[in-house]
Structure 1
Amino acid sequence: MNAQNTINRTVSVMPADVLFLHWATSLNASGLFREALTEQMTYRNIDRDELVALVDEALHDETYDLDELVEQTSGLEDLEELLEAPDAEPLQHE
C-alpha cells in the first residue's frame, strides 16, 4: 500500500488491547484492522478487490474525491451506479 493512498483515522482501543499490542511488537495493527474489515466485507457479500478497483478508478480519474464517494454512496451498488453515470465529470481543481 502506497503511503500517499493511506487515510489516517483514529481507532479507540481498550487499555488491555494497548498493552497486548505493546507486547506483541511484531503485530501490524493497521494490518489487523484491514483484516477485520475484509472479514466484514465478506460477511456483507462485498468483494474487497472489486471495491478497491472501483474506488481507485474514481480517485485516479479525479471524477470524485473520497469525501464525495462517502457522501454519495451507501453501498457497492451505489458506487457502481455513480461511476457508470453518463454525466460523471472530473472535478475542477483550483
Structure 2
Amino acid sequence: MITRSVTVEDIDDLYLMWNSHINASALYRRALREEMAVRDVDPHEFRMLLERAREQGYTLDEIADKTNRYADLQSLVEESQGQRTAGNTTHD
C-alpha cells in the first residue's frame, strides 16, 4: 500500500482530535469511491482489472505509466489478454 500526503485543515485536524474514533483513511476512501461513482467506475470491477493487470505481470508503477484513466486500464488488460491468447495458439 502506498501512503499519500493529504492536506488537512486546522478544523479537520481539531475535529479528528475530538473524535479519535473516526477512521480518516476510511473517510478518504469513501470520498474516492464517491468520485468513482460520479465517473461511473465500479470499484469492484476496478479492483478486478487492477488484479488482472498485476497477474499479467504489470507493476503498479507500470500500470500508472501506461494508463491515465479507467478505460485505458481496461484496454491494457484486454490487449495483454489477447496477446497471451494469441501467443498460446498453435498452428498445425
Pairing 1:46–2:41 present? yes
Moved over 3 A (4+): none
Hey, what's the Cα distance between the residues in 2 that align with 1:13 and 1:36? 14
**RMSD value, Cα:** 1.4
State the distance in 2 between where 1:40 and 1:79 align: 17
Task: Note if 1:80 corresponds to 2:79.
Answer: no
Distance 1:62 1:77 in 2: 17
| TM-score, length-scaled by structure 2 | 0.80
Cα offsets for 1:26-84 (capped at 9, x unmatched): 1100000000000000001111110011112222x152111111111122111111011
For 1:55, the equivalent position in structure 2 comes to 50
1:87 shift after superposition:
3.9
In 2: Cα distance, 1:18 partner to 1:87 partner: 49
Q: Which amino acid aligns with 1:41?
A: M
**Which runs of 5 or more residues in structure 1 are unaligned?**
1-5, 89-94
Partner SS, residue 39 of structure 1: helix
- Aligned partner of residue 57 in structure 2, secondary structure: coil
CA distance in 2 between counterparts of 1:57 and 1:8 reads 23
How many residue pairs end up in the alignment? 82
What does residue 4 of structure 2 align with? 9
The percent identity for this pair of structures is 38
Structure with bigger helix share is 2
Structure 2, unmatched stretches of 5+, are: 85-92
Structure-to-structure mapping, 1:28-47, within 5 angstroms = 28-47=23-42
